[in-house]
Structure 1
Amino acid sequence: MYLYGNTWRQIRYKRLVKFPLCALCAELGVTTAATVVDHIVPHRGSKELFFDSSNLQTLCEHCHNSHKQRQEKSGTLLGCDAEGNPLDAMHPWFRQPVE
Structure 2
Amino acid sequence: MQSQRQASETYKPKRRTLPLHSAAWARLRAEVLAEEPLCRHCKERGMVTPATEVDHIEDSRADYSDDNSRENLQSLCKSCHSIKTSASMGKATSAGCDARGLPLDPDHHWNSGKATAKKSPATKKGPTACPSQFYW
Sort the TM-score into its range (normalised by shorter chain).
0.5 to 0.7
Match in the other structure for 1:37: 54
Consecutive unaligned residues in structure 2, runs of 5 or more: 1-14, 107-136
Aligned Cα root-mean-square deviation (Å) = 2.9
Per-residue CA deviations over 1:4-46 (Å, capped at 9, x if unaligned) read 2211110000100110000000011000000000001113331
- Misfit runs of 4+, over 6 Å: none
Consecutive unaligned residues in structure 1, runs of 5 or more: 89-99
Please tell me whether the aligned partners of residues 27 and 87 of structure 1 are also in contact (alpha carbons under 8 angstroms): no
Kindly indicate which of the two structures has a greater share of residues assigned to helix.
Answer: 1
Match in the other structure for 2:70: 53
Give the TM-score, by structure 2 length.
0.50
Change in CA separation of 1:87 and 1:7 when aligned onto 2, cut-off 3 Å: farther
**Higher Rg of the two aligned structures:** 2
Alignment: residue pair count: 86
Give the TM-score, by structure 1 length.
0.66
Which residues in structure 2 correspond to 1:1-99 (within 5 Å)?
Answer: 3-4=18-19, 5-44=22-61, 45-47=64-66, 49=67, 51-65=68-82, 67-72=83-88, 73=90, 78=95
